[in-house]
Amino acid sequence: MPTASIVSSVTTVGVEPADRLAFWEHYNAEALVGLTCSSYAAEGLIAKQLNLDLGGFRVADIAGNPHVIERGPQLVRSQPKDAVFATLLLEGEAFFYHGNGCLRLDAGDVIVYETDAPYLFGFSTAMRQVLVDVPRRLFFERCAPALEGPLKVAGDGVGTAGLTARALSQMLLGLVEDPVVAPVSAGDHLLDLLEVMTTGRGTPTSTGRLLAAKEFIAARLGDADLCTDRVADALGVTARHLNRTFAAEGTTVAQYIQGRRLDAARVDLTARSMRAYRIADIATRWGFASQAHFTRSFRARFGCTPSEVRASGVL
């Protein structure tokens, strides 16, 4: 898929307060989906939106003050949209009403839903969300065979879905903050993440599973018991399956963990805030059982000892 390109960017700032709701509704009908919008803020609706094209589907970065959007039955009929939305709430609190109930979302949570069913999305605080707009056919071909109603994935959840939601958050943030440098494979990677998040499955070389594993490792890099089996258990796959995933990058899980630990230790060795820590303390901080093992591994990776790096004071 092609890299990301900016389609449009808009804000209600500069629009007369009395005209902002109509302006927002008209823009979204053209750029995203038909909806109605309500705001009870004294200053009126203050919102902005950036839309990106990833060559087959779109990503929208939306921020605003408290408001409610609704896609009711009449709009579903009069302005059809054949798509699946995956919305990551980056900031604020939200509630999502649908035909079978109400879901509450906190920052970090993801909700996946179809646009041909009525819904109401409310934001009780200042908010920011990143929405992935995938054509229905593409979503069901690449990500999941079906959706049994809106699917909420807790951003702080355990297991594959939660790990993938956090990996999705990191990827989407990088994409919207600097779309110009987004890799050509960004679109495929997003679809892989959505597949793993919604189904728990993926091919042995799935990028979604790889990114979820890296997210788990990054959060526990200093744990002495971090190992291939622990990461595999968290993702619900075998160690062999997970190593096949990392093989796509020419490494194993154990090698990746050790590499990240050594990189982190190297930063600590030259950090002013870590000057009071002994080299043995830094080794322990990043999960090495002994200073001797740490020194051997460090020399093998960087061609010098931890003591030499600390003495030089530069990376």
DSSP class of residue 208 equals H
CATH assignment of 215-312, among 3.40.50.300, 2.30.36.70, 3.30.70.100, 1.10.10.60: 1.10.10.60
pLDDT tens readout for residues 58-86: 999 999 999 999 999 999 999 999 999 99
Residue 210 has pLDDT above 90, yes or no: no
What are the start and end residues of each CATH 1.10.10.60 domain in the chain?
215-312
pLDDT at 177 (0 to 100): 85
Unique residue bearing structure tokens 């950036």: 50
With beta carbons less than 8 A apart as the criterion, state whether 93 and 106 touch. yes
Question: Which DSSP category does 91 fall into?
Answer: E
Mean pLDDT, rounded, for 208-227: 86
Query: Measured on CA atoms in the order 151, 153, 159, 162, is the torsion positive or negative?
Result: positive
pTM of the model: 0.74
The residues of the chain that CATH labels 2.60.120.10 are 5-205
* CB-based contact 110:153 (threshold 8 Å): yes
Model pLDDT for residues 244-257, shown as the tens digit of each residue: 888 877 889 999 99
Identify whether the C-beta of residue 149 lies closer than 8 Å to the C-beta of residue 118: no
Q: Sign of dihedral through CA atoms 305, 307, 308, 312? A: positive
Q: CA–CA separation, 35 vs 230, rounded Å?
A: 45
Q: Give pLDDT, residue 182.
A: 57
In our burial notation (b when 16+ CB lie closer than 10 A, e otherwise), range 232-251 reads bebbebebeebbbbbeeeee
The CATH code of the domain at 5-205 is 2.60.120.10
